[in-house]
Amino acid sequence: MGGPGKMDYHSFFDSFLQGHCPDAYQYFGVHRAEEGKTGFVFRVYAPMAKEVDLIGEFNDWKPEGYQMQKLDYQGLYEITVPTAKEGQQYKFHILGCDGFWKDKQDPFAFQDELREGGSSIIFDIEKIKMNDEEFITDRDTCFNKPVSIYEFHMGTWKRKEDGSQYSYSELADILIPYLLDMGYTHVEALPVSAYPNDKSWGYQTLGFYAIDGRWGSPSDFAVFVSKMHKAGISVIMDFVPVHFALDPFGLEKFDGSCVFEYANEHEFSQWGTKNFDLAKDPVRSFLIGSLVYLARVFHVDGFRFDAVSNVIYWDGDASKGENSGAIEFVKRANGYLHSLFKGIMMIAEDSSAYGHVTKGGFDEGLGFDYKWDLGWMNDTLKYYMKDPVYRKYCHNQLTFSMAYFYSENFILPLSHDEVVHMKGTILNKMWGSYDNKFANVRNLYAYQWAHPGKKLNFMGNEIATFDEWKEYDPVAFNILSYPKHQGIQRLIKDLNQIYRNHSAMYFEEYNPSHFSWIMADNAEQSVYVFKRESEDECLIFIFNMTPNFYWDYDIGVPYEGTYEEILNTDKGCYGGWNQYNNNPLVTHGEGIHNQKFKITLKIPSFGAVYLCYRKPRKDTIRPYISKDGAETAEIKNKIHI
């Protein structure tokens, strides 16, 4: 309804200037005129402008007679255009403090012209209606639930037969059945905020309030999210708070001054873009308002902040010191999002060693729920690249992650960043011949799912593509005609099902009491064994990182009884050689590896094995009745249910 009226804008604008305006989108930008009036009202913040005019299709792009009224000396401008209609393009024609006229997109526009078009588009957000109240009511941050994230790019997951792209809604109709069949719980979309250059993948954004038009309108994106929620799938969006694109119609030198960027040596980023000055309170309101807009209007379930190390440290360089203004912005953003939206997930992509990104009190912590474990990713991929002959010399590359794992709430990512720019796909990174590469990939994915932490994989990883991702090529799903690739897809599907159905794989996984090493120092054989427990079960995870085959390998286990093999990556259905343990494994003899008991099993070359011990259920505990009829003790029925 046009946001606050002319008589009550003062407090609203004051909160914007103070960096505490999470509802900025309800006032700035373009909204329908007040009730009883026709057209739309336009508002913009340009503190150093000498004059601001509105131009668009409604006035043939001529500024005469369309000078915006300056409501506040600090830079608030407004104009109502009775003839303006939804779908029309517009710009701000600004005489900057530098003496030059520039035509600028609306920073708060809800829709922008596609790519480098340079105009904004009138869009009425009041017409967006979501129908997912039950999903939003039940939403939580999933600390004690499985989280398997499918990271994808809207334009290249799949294309139509004629090569054209699916709309948001059309894509949802084919993506959802795939996600459900594969067992994923969340999707994470590469940025869908409007961006000019295809090659930036959306990480050089300009329209922080505009849903990108490559795949449809804001209404169509709302349908995408609604369909995902109806299917029980949460939607995470990539968000870029560090920098913005340099296109002249965008945010840079918006009114002739550095409204959004630094006015010092930190003005330009390492990506050839401009850094947001996150110490400026209006910039904080602008970015926080964008997050709130996406969460409130489209019911987005979480945000992954890109390049958080560049927020924490000047230019992402710890030697240059902490950027206290930017750190305050992050704390404020997370504080607002958590206070306003139940169960929203705030995720940091942070390559630094900065402490308390996800843990710690409000004063010392950044307030994120999760952090990508990029250390785990780097160490793990380096290990799997090595010839097995040399893996014993870097044995701790796989054990080191558990030395720091409980310092943060980690997500284990094998993301788009690892399969671009000549880095090679996950499959191509693996050591060895064709068969050995696939065996190592199977081992790697089993290790990723077994390791504590939520899971994230980029599209194409689940079918072991040979070709790196490019922003113009769809995923090569045709390779599923080859059994080896089918096997990897089947493995991911089964890993997700095991993940969902075995509580030891997610229950209190950020509590160290549920994990322990059984064999952490067998570098000579490059065999790793650890266990994870919940109240219901104990899972044993065994990884053989060499081509050596073990027919009867002894492993220490904590409980007496039967252990069932629930996963073996060498099964034929995964592309292996069927060297698996067909029968349940029963403890025998004396314990080893500091465990009370032991089992003997077959471990295939490059094999990963999951074993499950089901603890006696509480309802199988029966009272012992003494001869005189008194209950004197309880004994456990040792039948494993």
CA dihedral 212, 214, 217, 222 (to 10 degrees): -70
Helix (H) or strand (E) holding 274: strand 274-275
According to DSSP, the β-strands at 193-194 and 207-211 are antiparallel
Buried b (16+ CB within 10 A) or exposed e, 275-291: bbbbbbbbbbbbbbbbb
Per the CB < 8 A criterion, the answer to whether 288 and 336 are in contact is yes
CB neighbour list of residue 179: distance below 8 Å, 6 or more residues apart: 150, 187, 231, 233
Per the CB < 8 A criterion, the answer to whether 9 and 24 are in contact is no
Q: Which residue has the tokens 């990512």?
A: 413
**How many CB atoms are located within 10 Å of the residue 78 CB?**
21
**How many CB atoms are located within 10 Å of the residue 628 CB?**
6
What residues form DSSP beta bridges with 631? Answer: 625
What residues form DSSP beta bridges with 541? Answer: 530, 610
Decide: helix, strand or coil at residue 168.
helix
User: What tokens appear for 533 in the block?
Assistant: 């427990």
- 255 in active site: no
User: What tokens appear for 152 in the block?
Assistant: 């994808």
Per the CB < 8 A criterion, the answer to whether 595 and 558 are in contact is yes
Alpha helices, DSSP H only, in 105-217? 133-138, 168-182
Catalytic pick from 23, 301, 306, 462?
A: 306
- 306 in active site: yes
Catalytic pick from 106, 247, 281, 349?
A: 349
Q: What is the CA radius of gyration of the chain?
A: 28
CA dihedral 164, 167, 172, 177 (to 10 degrees): -20
Q: Which residue has the tokens 């094995």?
A: 609
Per the CB < 8 A criterion, the answer to whether 47 and 55 are in contact is no
Q: Could you give phi then psi for residue 637, rounded to 5 degrees?
A: -70, 125
* CB half-sphere exposure, 190, CA atoms < 13 A: 24
- Report how far Cα 256 is from the mean position of its chain's Cα atoms: 36
According to DSSP, the β-strands at 193-194 and 537-544 are unpaired
CB neighbour list of residue 138: distance below 8 Å, 6 or more residues apart: 343
Question: Looking at the annotation, which residues are catalytic?
Answer: 306, 349
